[in-house]
């Protein structure tokens, strides 16, 4: 016991510098925890299965220039049937199902603290582990709202990810606290999102519910990535769209599309109140207010703003 409590110090001069490795830069780091959260039915599971499928075939993900390293994936789900839901989705996504492994829970349910997680990663040499959803794998005696219970679980899981070099992605549902910052809408203690190096939010575009958008709301290891959209409907299934311009408020439901548009219109009126301004200047002001170009263009059209070509370049004028 005394040996366990013996003081040990680490001198930073002895620490070897290493580079962060990525499964999908900057969204999913290798050897770290990533959380994907969103309301039920928004397409989180379908999206992560598309990513997993790409892993099994060495495909290229949106906004990425390099193909993924073809590797095994471990997928644990407590919400969907393997035979009637998960495998059909994997096949539809073109996955090599020989590279998708599931830890058998028929005799004992799995939890995030289970040693079988690390054993399975090592035995299969999996580069990606998916837990879907978080709430089902905490364990029956764990209160997800208590930081003192959550912290050691995620500390251990982070260590497993680092030791094995496996990217661990956890799917989580969101609470209904409208108007709240995205990071604080995940269910449970804020220590859950604090343990993740990347947090991704999935929501649907209200103007076209078949379009879903993934937005990075936390990135501890690189600048936040651009928003990525995918289309999901019964007729055509899943398909990546690519980069997408939308306000985070619209995905969170914190403010209606109309209110965001009103802010854009107000900004244009204020900027152009004393005369024409360079279009680039207006766009830059909109970025400062976190107003997307898509919304800005709609506001410009509503206000009948004119585009004038001058010697200095294009300008906007009311």
Lowest mean pLDDT of 50-54, 153-157, 161-165, 295-299, name the range. Answer: 295-299
Residues 150 and 53 in one domain: yes
What is the phi/psi pair of residue 253, to 5°?
75, 20
pLDDT in tens, 216-242: 999 999 999 999 999 999 888 999 999
pLDDT interval class at 261 (50, 70, 90): confident
Residues 141 and 234 in one domain: yes
Mean pLDDT of 84-103: 96
Name the domain count of the chain: 2
- 76 is a domain residue: yes
Whether the per-residue pLDDT at 42 is higher than 50: the answer is yes
How many Å apart are CA 318 and CA 307, to the nearest integer? Answer: 9
- Which residues face 243 on adjacent strands? 228
Give pTM, 2 decimals.
0.79
Query: What CATH number has the domain bearing residue 242?
Result: 3.40.50.300
40 by Cβ neighbours in 10 Å (0-12 / 13-18 / 19+) ranks as: exposed
Whether the per-residue pLDDT at 248 is higher than 50: the answer is yes
pLDDT interval class at 189 (50, 70, 90): confident
Residue 71, pLDDT score = 97
How many Å apart are CA 305 and CA 238, to the nearest integer? Answer: 38
Residue 110, pLDDT score = 96
Domain region containing 312: 257-317
Last residue of a domain, one of 225, 251, 277: 251
Residues 138 and 272 in one domain: no
- Cβ atoms within 10 Å, residue 141: 7
- 5 is a domain residue: no
Residues 49 and 75 in one domain: yes
How many Å apart are CA 18 and CA 214, to the nearest integer? Answer: 29
Whether the per-residue pLDDT at 14 is higher than 80: the answer is yes
């Amino acid at each position: 016991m005394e040996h366990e409590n013996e003081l040990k110090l680490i001198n930073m001069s002895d620490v070897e510098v290493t580079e962060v490795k990525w499964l999908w830069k900057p969204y999913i780091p290798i050897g770290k925890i990533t959380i994907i959260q969103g309301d039920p039915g928004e397409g989180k599971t379908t999206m992560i299965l598309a990513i997993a499928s790409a892993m099994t075939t060495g495909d290229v993900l949106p906004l990425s220039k390099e193909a993924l390293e073809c590797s095994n994936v471990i997928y644990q789900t407590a919400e969907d049937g393997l035979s009637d839901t998960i495998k059909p989705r994997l096949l539809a996504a073109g996955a090599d199902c020989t590279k998708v492994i599931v830890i058998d829970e028929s005799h004992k349910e799995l939890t995030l603290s289970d040693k079988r997680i690390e054993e399975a990663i090592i035995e299969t040499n999996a580069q990606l582990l998916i837990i879907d959803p978080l709430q089902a794998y905490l364990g029956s005696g764990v209160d997800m709202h208590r930081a003192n219970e959550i912290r050691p679980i995620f500390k251990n899981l982070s260590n497993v990810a680092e030791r094995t070099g496996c990217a661990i992605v956890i799917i989580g549902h969101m609470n209904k606290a409208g108007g709240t910052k995205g990071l604080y809408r995940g269910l449970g203690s804020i220590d859950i999102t604090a343990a993740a190096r990347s947090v991704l939010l999935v929501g649907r575009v209200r103007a076209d519910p078949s379009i879903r958008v993934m937005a990075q709301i936390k990135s501890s290891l690189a600048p936040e990535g651009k928003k990525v959209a995918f289309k999901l409907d019964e007729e055509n299934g899943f398909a990546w769209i690519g980069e997408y311009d939308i306000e985070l408020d619209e995905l969170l439901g914190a403010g209606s599309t109309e209110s965001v548009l009103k802010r854009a219109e107000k900004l244009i009126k204020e900027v152009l109140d004393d005369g024409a301004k360079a279009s680039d200047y207006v766009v830059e002001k909109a970025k400062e207010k976190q107003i997307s170009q898509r919304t800005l263009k709609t506001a410009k059209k509503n206000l009948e703003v004119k585009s004038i070509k001058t010697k200095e370049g294009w300008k906007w004028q009311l």
